[in-house]
Amino acid sequence: MSNIILRPEWHLPERQVTPEPAYRNRRQFLREFGFTGSGLLAGAALLERDAWAADAKKLYPAQRNIAFSPPDLKLSDEKVFISYNNFYEFSTSKESVVERVDKFITAPWPVKIHGLCEKPLTIDAQELAAEFPLEERVYRFRCVEAWGAVVPWTGFELRKLLERVQPKAGAKFVKFVTAMKPEQMPGLARLRGYPWPYTEGLRMEEAMHPLTILATGVYGKPLPKQNGAPIRVVVPWKYGYKSGKSLVSIELTDQQPKTLWETLSPEEYPFESNVDPAVPHPRWSQATERQVDTGDRIRTLPLNGYAAQVGELYKKKG
């Protein structure tokens, strides 16, 4: 028995992974053309982008992890979900985001993991997707605006990345900062008064919970730009605004991060923002939600149906 390697069922088969030398070459290429320095040459960058896009596709679809994908959940229609977006950096109109993302460049995409940790790291989003075996999970998704969906995300547990950088004892929160690229994001100019970049945060225990994932794909393909390519957070028991899109920085900190929505309106969008049908938003009820594809109205569940898994995090001590 001792020489049998037991793999979790979502283990990525070797043939789906880009060979290491190819990644090495790519890294070398990026170094030579100034990935960490003054900028890429335009033509070379285009070639590079195509190569990365081709590699990214090889990682999908990933094996579904049935332990995190209840069989009774019926997926929302893909076309509807990926074209009905909240991504204010592009537009405040959910139907228009998808029409405004073409100038958004999502590869290469360095992500910085830093702050109160022993081994800070800057790594490209695509390398992250290749380093941590990807799996698919079917999660309920609930927006604070009282609409919901059932979504097959592809990604890996955030805690695996946090463990890699070795958090220090003083790390109490994780702060997520997302991209702010005014020349590529037309919505930023229209909302000048907002405290950009879009910033979110979790308590350390929430970030380390196995349900919290970094998603790099959805519906068996790499994330579309409008859904937060190349990498976003997904925290299924919290309102959707906690799930920051197009992440550029993940910081371990001892301070509760100031988030964009909490700064704008703390009564409406508090830091914790767990899905709770019993606590109405100041302007509407949260008791029910409209399914984004069918239009059906269903009852919202406490902690969005994840009370058995995460309820313990919110039991009052003492």
| Residues at the contact surface with ligand MTE, assessed by CB under 6 A | 85-89, 143, 178, 198, 227-228, 240-241, 243-246
Helix (H) or strand (E) holding 216: strand 213-218
What span, in angstroms and rounded, lies between the C-alpha atoms of 29 and 23?
Answer: 10
Taking the complex as a whole, the smallest distance from the CB of residue 171 to ligand MTE amounts, in Å, to: 23
Nearer to ligand MTE, 18 or 199 (CB): 199
Phi, psi of 39 (to 5 degrees): 130, 160
Q: Name the DSSP class of 170.
A: T
Taking the complex as a whole, the smallest distance from the CB of residue 260 to ligand MTE amounts, in Å, to: 8
Nearer to ligand MTE, 140 or 245 (CB): 245
Taking the complex as a whole, the smallest distance from the CB of residue 198 to ligand MTE amounts, in Å, to: 4
What span, in angstroms and rounded, lies between the C-alpha atoms of 90 and 196?
Answer: 13
304 backbone φψ class: left, alpha, beta (φ>0; ψ -120 to 50)? left
User: CB neighbours (10 Å) of residue 213?
Assistant: 26
Nearer to ligand MTE, 106 or 178 (CB): 178
Taking the complex as a whole, the smallest distance from the CB of residue 9 to ligand MTE amounts, in Å, to: 27
Helix (H) or strand (E) holding 25: helix 20-32
Does residue 230 have a cis peptide bond before it, meaning omega lies within 30 degrees of 0? yes
Nearer to ligand MTE, 167 or 244 (CB): 244
Nearer to ligand MTE, 243 or 304 (CB): 243
What span, in angstroms and rounded, lies between the C-alpha atoms of 86 and 240?
Answer: 9
Taking the complex as a whole, the smallest distance from the CB of residue 178 to ligand MTE amounts, in Å, to: 4
What span, in angstroms and rounded, lies between the C-alpha atoms of 85 and 98?
Answer: 8
Taking the complex as a whole, the smallest distance from the CB of residue 186 to ligand MTE amounts, in Å, to: 13
Nearer to ligand MTE, 167 or 197 (CB): 197
Q: Tell how strand 297-299 and strand 288-291 pair up.
A: antiparallel
Phi, psi of 64 (to 5 degrees): -75, 135
Nearer to ligand MTE, 116 or 303 (CB): 303
Q: Tell how strand 213-218 and strand 147-157 pair up.
A: antiparallel
Name the residue number minimizing CB distance to ligand MTE.
Answer: 240
The pair of structure tokens assigned to 229 is 């390519």
Nearer to ligand MTE, 126 or 226 (CB): 226
Taking the complex as a whole, the smallest distance from the CB of residue 245 to ligand MTE amounts, in Å, to: 4
- CA 218, distance to chain mean position in Å, is 10
Taking the complex as a whole, the smallest distance from the CB of residue 106 to ligand MTE amounts, in Å, to: 13
